[in-house]
């Protein structure tokens, strides 16, 4: 398939100033763009870059050989703050739980008469006036106002052992940038890389909420800021699949996979 011709046909579907991400999203989500299912994921990525060139009024042929030879993938992982506000599981964030001392109507059996409503002489019980039941004192008759014991009524709690993280998967043909990334990896430099938005775009962002207890492992292995995880210069095409309306990288990032 002639990818430049495909990219030219996409001009009609994209805004003039569209970013690479916007072009990519449009191709993946617009149902009236028919050919995407016939394109290999790697070609779909090339088409995104080519379309951007065309929108810029530049010659798309210029980058064709770069796209064929220099495309690479890389990933970053970004940790959220480790002090996370989590909804209390016991009360679902209400801060209150149902009273266990009474029935749904907030009433419980009268202690004085044992629920009979009568005193020892067969008269109405002074305490419950013959009803046999009295308002529950634990919840003042509301049946729903016992302070949750797990969160002490706050409805949420903070945890220090819960470090959710996001893995970003990017694609690029920026050779200079690739060198920068590889040097960062060697130095274990965790500073977030600065992208050239004309040559690099975000394929997908996966948010992963680590379970309690796993966070310390994760933090032990990776820095607690943005961390360059991996640069993949192998055959990019083989590391990509197209599913659920987007291109997903596959076959690497093993270090974090086990924490999913």
Q: Can you give the binding site for Zn ion, defined by CB under 5 A? A: 88, 90-91, 99, 101-102, 110, 112-113, 125, 127-128, 136, 138-139, 148, 150-151
Question: Shortest approach of Zn ion to residue 148 CB, angstroms?
Answer: 3
User: Distance between CA 153 and CA 90 in Å, rounded?
Assistant: 11
**Separation of alpha carbons 247 and 159, rounded Å:** 34
The angle at the Cα of 23, spanning 19 to 24, to the nearest 5 degrees, equals 115
In the complex with Zn ion, which residue's Cβ is closer, 155 or 249? 155
- The minimum distance between CB 122 and Zn ion, in angstroms, equals 13
CA atoms 10, 13, 16, 18: torsion sign:
negative
Q: Which of 36, 59, 175 is nearest to 23 (CA)?
A: 36
Least distance from C-beta 238 to Zn ion, angstroms? 49
Please say whether the beta carbons of 200 and 161 come within 8 A.
Answer: no
Of 90 and 260, CB closest to Zn ion = 90
Q: Which is nearer to Zn ion, 151 or 203 (CB)?
A: 151
Smallest gap from Cβ 113 to Zn ion, in A, equals 3
Min CB(117)–Zn ion separation in Å: 6
Measured from the CB atom, the residue of 20 and 88 that comes closer to Zn ion is: 88
Residues whose CB falls within 8 Å of the CB of residue 162, separated by 6 or more in sequence, listed in order: 82, 84, 86, 209, 210, 212, 215
Distance between CA atoms of residues 26 and 15, nearest Å: 10
**What's the Cα-to-Cα distance from 174 to each of 72, 100, 195, 254, 255, rounded to whole Å?**
9, 64, 9, 24, 25
Of 99, 101, 91, 100, the closest CA to residue 150 belongs to 91
If the CB atoms of residues 67 and 134 are measured against Zn ion, the closer one turns out to be 134
H/E element, 171: strand 165-172
The DSSP symbol for 239 reads G
Least gap, CB of 137 to Zn ion (angstroms): 8
Nearer to Zn ion, 7 or 136 (CB): 136
- Whichever of 113 and 203 has its CB closer to Zn ion, that residue is 113
User: Least distance in Å: CB of 4 to Zn ion?
Assistant: 60
Give the up-direction half-sphere exposure of residue 244: CA atoms within 13 A in the CB hemisphere. 4
């Amino acid at each position: 398939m002639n990818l430049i011709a495909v990219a030219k046909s996409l001009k009609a579907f994209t805004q003039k100033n569209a970013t690479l991400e916007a072009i990519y999203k449009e191709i993946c989500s617009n149902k009236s763009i028919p050919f995407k299912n016939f394109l290999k994921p790697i070609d779909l990525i090339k088409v995104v870059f080519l379309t951007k060139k065309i929108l810029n009024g530049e010659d798309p042929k210029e980058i064709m050989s770069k796209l064929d030879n220099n495309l690479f993938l890389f990933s970053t992982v970004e940790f959220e703050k480790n002090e996370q506000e989590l909804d209390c599981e016991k009360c679902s964030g209400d801060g209150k739980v149902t009273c266990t001392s009474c029935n749904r109507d907030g009433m419980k059996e009268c202690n004085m008469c044992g629920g009979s409503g009568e005193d020892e002489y067969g008269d109405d019980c002074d305490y419950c006036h013959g009803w046999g039941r009295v308002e529950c004192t634990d919840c003042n008759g509301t049946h729903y106002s016992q302070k949750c014991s797990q969160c002490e009524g706050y409805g949420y709690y903070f945890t220090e052992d819960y470090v959710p993280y996001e893995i970003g998967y990017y694609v690029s043909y920026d050779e200079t940038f690739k060198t920068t990334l590889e040097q960062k990896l060697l130095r274990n430099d965790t500073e977030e890389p600065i992208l050239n938005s004309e040559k690099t775009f975000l394929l997908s962002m996966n948010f992963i909420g680590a379970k309690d207890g796993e966070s310390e492992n994760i933090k032990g292995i990776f820095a607690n800021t943005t961390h360059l995880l991996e640069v993949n210069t192998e055959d990019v095409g083989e590391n990509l699949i197209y599913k659920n309306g987007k291109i997903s990288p596959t076959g690497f990032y093993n270090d974090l996979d086990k924490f999913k």
